[in-house]
Amino acid sequence: MLTGKLLRFAGLLILCVLFAGPSTDLQAGDGFVLRAGHLHTGLRSIADGTLVIREGKVTHCGPWAEIEPQLQGDLPVLHWPDAYVTPGMVSASSNVVGPHRGQDSISAAYRAVDGYNTYGDHRPFLATGVTTIHVNPGEHRLLSGQGAVVKLVGQPQGRVLSKSSDLAISMQDSVDNPDALLEIPFPASSDVQIEPPTDQRPKGRISRILALKEALAKSATDQQAHGELVRYWGEGKPLRVSADSLADLHGMLAMMQDQGRNGYFVSDGTVAEIEGKLAEAGVPVVLRMNVPQGDTPPGGVLKSWGFPTLDSSPEWALAPPGDDLGNMSWAITEAAAHMENPENVISWVTHHPAKIMGVEDRVGHLEPGADADIVVWNDRPWHLHSRPLEVFVEGLRAWQPQEKTATVIHADTIWISSDHQIHDGEVLIENGKITSVGQRVAHPPHCQVIYGGKGSYLVPGFIDCYGHLGLQGEAASMGTGDRLHRLLGVSGAAENSVALAGVTSQLLAPRRLQRGAGVGLIAKTAGGSRASRIDEEVSMLLLQASSSDLSAMNRLFGQAQKYLDSWNKYDKDLEEWKRKKAAGEEIEKKKEVEVEKAPEEKLEDPLTGIWELTVSGGPIPEPETATVSMQLTGSNFEGRVIEPAPPMPVRITGTLEGTTLQGTIEVPGDVLPDSPKIEAELTGEDSLTGKISILTFSADIQGTRTSKEAKTFKVTRRKKQDDDGKPLPPRVRENLEPLRAVLEKKIPVMVNVSGFQTLPAVVKYFTEKEISFSVQLDNDMRFQRDLLVENKVPVVLPMSSSFNIGDDAYVPATFLGRAGITLGFMSLAEDGARRLPHRARQEVANGMAADAALEALTHGAARVLGAHDRIGHIHEGMDADLLIWKGHPFETGSRLERVFVHGEEVQQ
């Protein structure tokens, strides 16, 4: 095992093996607490309402402020701040069980519950919000049997709430002229005569009630007649009367009063004409509205549709048109539009039908003692687009939509730009992207709907143009070959604190650039994975320029141009090879040979020899030194650690391209969790500087050559073709890849400019090359404003809000901003980036317009980073990084209320 100085050096000497503990899923145990933005119990409406569920029952119900002090902390809390929660809806009429097939016009023997499959999978019906239904033996017979009340899901033995809830009577035209009743003796016998078929009544509307009375009279003398009608009639079961004709309604109401029977009507809007009589008799109604009718058939009658005009607010119930549960949402919407308070419709589909059918002790409300049948809606249930997000039955989650990828945010004001706002508008978010913006947008089924509330202000997420979030403890300089994305992962507490301050994106940049060049990465401040936080590995090339002499920059881009040319040649050769192969032409094959080359006697290579290497910075508490023997062979080098003497061979291998070294420290076995990497630059004849890294840790490395030797070496020409003549791609050079991307116009450049004459040279250099760039400036900006305006150069504001030159005071934000220059803010901080909005407030206090400050944190910052095609704006195709403020972000009294990154809300 490596020990002492060798351990601290050979493994980067900064080894920390990180162990991630297993996460545990939240278990609901025997219940949970549900908190919602709005709760309707079926009996009352509660803002910020709370339910406590234990063993499938509601134990407590009330406002969060009232319930929270009573919580014992043993139950998980499900918080739906934007949801509307109701009891599971109760449909007092349905077609889940079809009509029975018996021929009897009047029989109490048929039980609808026998046709209900208690083991069946009825979960798809839960998508309507209905959890309890009435099952009907049918409306095709005058008295078709006994209805029942059942739950759609649950334990088979517990689904039936009432196996015989009523006697079902139908006064529909379909009951007239039933087939004659033929009774076949069983078992058949030759001495038992088969009686001829017996006619059945009714023959028309006028004989319906008479037929019922005759059947009752007959059953009084024959207890087996009409399916033991006398028995069930004598039990006093409520009558469920389906009737749409005013004459039938009057007739059945009179019969019920004469017989002293309880019951209820199932009818369409016609029933409104006898509303007063029904109220006086205490007979409730299940209103089964008609939908708009199609073409009227010959001889047909145009039926009224929709919700009738009522004189009062009776405790009636709603049923879906055509008994189709899928039509329940239409019925709710139609009914709510005719009610003084649309919220009253909730009772019509929960508590009222449960009470009418005699099951209100179990379902139809969410007061203590009720079954925990709960529907979590994405919006107010009477809205056309409202859909369930979750359904619980007896405290267990019974249904969820398969996908929940859409969100609609509604705000009083949507800030598009300083001269464009949408009032009372909405934004549709799908799969983390904004797909629609306007006053009314599409609401995909089961989408989440979020209301910002009165005074809400929806703005793009703020952008930090230069920061170090995620580089905690990382102090080493980084060059163009470094990739910051390797340091990112799931956002933690530090990142979340920045996101919750409103900063949703940051240009992650090194603390120090290696030899004046490095790369930046635009990263989200919140996300559940690295992939969710970044779109690319390199977003920007970072450069430093401190004089008008840009020779170093020229050399850098000169190398990049040669590198790009090699790739362009490869692309051209590859296309030519594809063309020839497709055409069947002969492909010339080149053979590369290995050549032995002897340098001149006095020629010395820049690397071979003995080097003293010192590692410092990063997690290294004190500098550590080691002696390494290096041998350069062509562009490849190999080294060995010779002091301190290692207990096992430690080999360093890599390549030298120009003055750039890239290598790997190879340690046998699994002593280290990864192979340490070395990246360095030869800074002189006998010196180098660079970085050594492993996992997410790195430290600076300095080297001095103490002896050197001239040796012969082999140059192996790299094959340029494979065996079939196909050209091979050039060697990938990580340190030149970002510059190649710049030359290909894929990423922009940010230049930190210092010195009076530097900015004109930088502007001239990049404008001539037609390269997109932005700048960070020092106090000399006061001389260069016109140059910036003329060339439309975006500027990152300095950290200082103001500076004085003699008697003159300069405020960069207003000095540059009022000239029309695109601006962005930077933090130069880790989690201190959370102060960025505070910095913008200070600029507003110093005279910057509130909308201008908002522009600099959003649109302007996105343009500074060359990312205005995906962040910083609210319009179609942009990342859904959004902030809900109460009031304009930079007005007195405003506050940030909610933050969304890629459409996902950032939680506290």
Supply the DSSP string of 522-582, one letter for each residue. EEES--SSHHHHBS-S--EEEEEE-SS--HHHHHHHHHHHHHHHHHHHHHHHHHHHHHHHH
| Per-residue confidence (pLDDT) for residue 2, from 0 to 100 | 37
Residue 403: how many CA atoms within 13 Å on its side-chain side? 6
Query: Which residue do the tokens 């010192």 mark?
Result: 614
pLDDT, average across residues 688-698: 81
585: Cβ contacts below 8 Å, ≥ 6 apart: none
What's the one-letter identity of residue 764? K
Tell which wins on pLDDT, 805 or 515: 515
- Asked if CATH classification 3.20.20.140 holds for the domain at 462-553+738-871, the reply, yes or no, is yes
Selected residue with higher pLDDT from 299 and 200: 200
Confidence of residue 721 (pLDDT cuts 50, 70, 90): low
Please state, in angstroms and as integers, the Cα–Cα distance from residue 741 to each residue in 478, 486, 538, 657, following that order. Answer: 18, 19, 9, 19
CA dihedral 623, 625, 631, 633 (to 10 degrees): -10
> What does the pLDDT read at residue 185?
76
pLDDT at 8: 45
**How far is the C-alpha of 718 from the C-alpha of 728, rounded, in Å?**
10
CA 613 remoteness from chain centre? 49
What CA–CA distance (Å, rounded) separates 460 from 441?
18
Beta carbons of 106 and 130 less than 8 angstroms apart? no
Tokens of 247: 């004459």
Q: What share of the chain is helix, strand, coil (3-state, %, to 5)?
A: 25, 30, 45
Of residues 368 and 622, more confidence is placed in 368
Q: Is the pLDDT of residue 786 over 70?
A: yes
pLDDT: which is higher, 4 or 880: 880
Provide the pLDDT confidence category of residue 22 given band limits of 50, 70 and 90. very low
Q: Which residue has the higher pLDDT, 62 or 311?
A: 62
* Three-state helix/strand/coil letters over 4-40: HHHHHHHCCCCCCCCCCCCCCCCCCCCEEEEEEEEEE
Distance in angstroms between the alpha carbons of the first and the last residue of the chain: 44
119-157 pLDDT tens trace: 999 999 999 999 999 999 999 999 999 999 999 999 999
Contact 749, 541 (CB under 8 A): yes
Rounded to whole angstroms, how far apart are CA atoms 73 and 662?
55
Pick from 421, 329, 456: nearest CA to 383: 329
Q: Among 94-103, 139-148, 658-667, 746-755, which stretch is predicted with the lowest mean pLDDT?
A: 658-667
Pick the CATH number of 406-459 from 2.60.15.10, 2.30.30.830, 2.40.30.170, 2.30.40.10: 2.30.40.10
Q: How far apart are CA 696 and CA 673, in angstroms?
A: 12
β-strand pairing of 823-824 with 795-796: parallel
Give me the phi and psi of 311, to 5 degrees please: -85, -20
Nearest Cα residue to 836 out of 506, 560, 484: 506
Task: Say which residue the tokens 């996992």 belong to.
Answer: 695
Interatomic CA distance for residues 316 and 287, integer angstroms? 7
| pLDDT at residue 601 in the model | 38
Q: Which pairs count as long-range contacts for 303-310, CB under 8 Å and 24+ apart, including other chains? A: 303/244, 303/268, 304/268, 304/269, 304/270, 305/268, 305/269, 306/269, 306/334, 307/269, 307/334, 307/335, 307/337, 307/338, 308/269, 308/270, 308/271, 308/272, 309/272, 309/338, 310/272, 310/275, 310/338
Average pLDDT over residues 785-806: 89
Contacts of 215 by beta carbon, 8 Å cutoff, 6+ apart: 106, 143, 225, 226, 229
- Which has the higher per-residue pLDDT, 811 or 495? 495
pLDDT for 223: 87
Q: What is the pLDDT of residue 295?
A: 64
Query: Quick one: angle between helices 850-857 and 836-845, nearest 10?
Result: 150
Tokens of 526: 């919140």
Of the spans 27-36, 223-232, 314-323, which averages the highest pLDDT? 314-323
The enclosing H or E element of 251 equals helix 246-259
Could you write out the DSSP letters of every residue in 772-815? -EEEE--GGGGGTHHHHHHHT--EEPPS-S-EEETTEEE-HHHH
Q: Quick one: average pLDDT of 791-814?
A: 86
pLDDT in tens, 549-608: 888 899 999 999 999 999 999 999 999 989 988 888 887 776 554 444 434 434 467 888
Beta-bridge partner residues of 187:
none
Tokens of 465: 């143009």
* Tens digit of each residue's pLDDT (9 = 90 or more) over 857-875: 999 999 999 999 999 999 9
Rg (CA), the chain: 40
Out of 65-69, 116-120, 674-678, least confident range: 674-678
Contacts of 569 (CB under 8 A, 6+ apart): none
Q: pTM of the predicted model, to two decimals?
A: 0.77
Q: Please enumerate, as own/partner, the contacts of 760-769 that have beta carbons within 8 Å and a separation of 24 or more.
A: 760/548, 760/784, 760/787, 761/545, 761/548, 761/549, 761/550, 762/545, 762/550, 763/787, 763/788, 763/791, 763/793, 765/550, 765/553, 767/791, 769/557
Q: What percent of the chain stands above pLDDT 70?
A: 90
Q: Check for a shared fold between 462-553+738-871 and 595-716.
A: no
Mean pLDDT of the chain: 88
CA distance 610 to 138: 98
Residue 718 pLDDT greater than 70, yes or no: no
- Tell whether the model's pLDDT for residue 795 goes beyond 90: yes
Confidence category of residue 629, pLDDT binned at 50, 70, 90 = confident
Give the domain ranges of the chain: 90-363, 406-459, 462-553+738-871, 595-716
Distance between CA atoms of residues 425 and 438, nearest Å: 5
Q: Is 734 helix (H, G, I), strand (E, B) or coil?
A: coil
Q: For residue 155, which of 199, 200, 120 has the smallest C-alpha distance?
A: 120
- CATH number of 90-363, picked from 3.10.250.10, 3.20.20.140, 3.20.20.70, 1.10.10.10: 3.20.20.140
C-alpha 253: how far from chain center = 55
Containing H/E element for 852? Answer: helix 850-857
Tell me the pLDDT tens digit for each residue of 371-398: 999 999 999 999 999 999 999 999 999 9
- Which DSSP string corresponds to 357-423? TT-TTTSS--STTSB--EEEESS-TTSTT--EEEEEETTEEEE--S---EEEEEEEEEEEETTEEEE
pLDDT at 808 over 90: no
DSSP state at residue 647: S
Taking the C-alpha atoms of residue 388 and residue 620, their distance in angstroms, rounded to an integer, is 56
* In the block, residue with structure tokens 């004001």: 413
CB contact at 8 A, 751 and 545: yes
Strand partners, 462: 503
pLDDT reported for residue 713: 38
276/622 Cα distance (integer angstroms): 93
Token output for 478 = 């980084």
Minimum mean pLDDT range among 49-53, 103-107, 617-621: 617-621
Q: Residue 443: is its pLDDT beyond 70?
A: yes
User: Is 132 buried (19+), middle (13-18) or exposed (0-12) by CB count in 10 A?
Assistant: buried
Fold of the domain spanning 595-716: Lipocalin (2.40.128)
Q: Which residues contact 487 (CB under 8 A, 6 or more apart)?
A: 470, 471, 474, 696
Location of structure tokens 């080999």:
651
At position 666, the amino acid (one-letter code) is E
Q: Measure the CA–CA gap between 575 and 590, rounded to whole angstroms.
A: 17
Angle 43-47-49 (CA atoms, 0-180°, nearest 5)?
A: 75
Distance CA 752, CA 481 (A): 19
Q: Closest Cα to residue 560, out of 632, 655, 658?
A: 658
Paired with 611 in beta bridges are 628, 705
Longest dimension (CA), the chain: 133
Q: Which residue has the higher pLDDT, 888 or 225?
A: 888
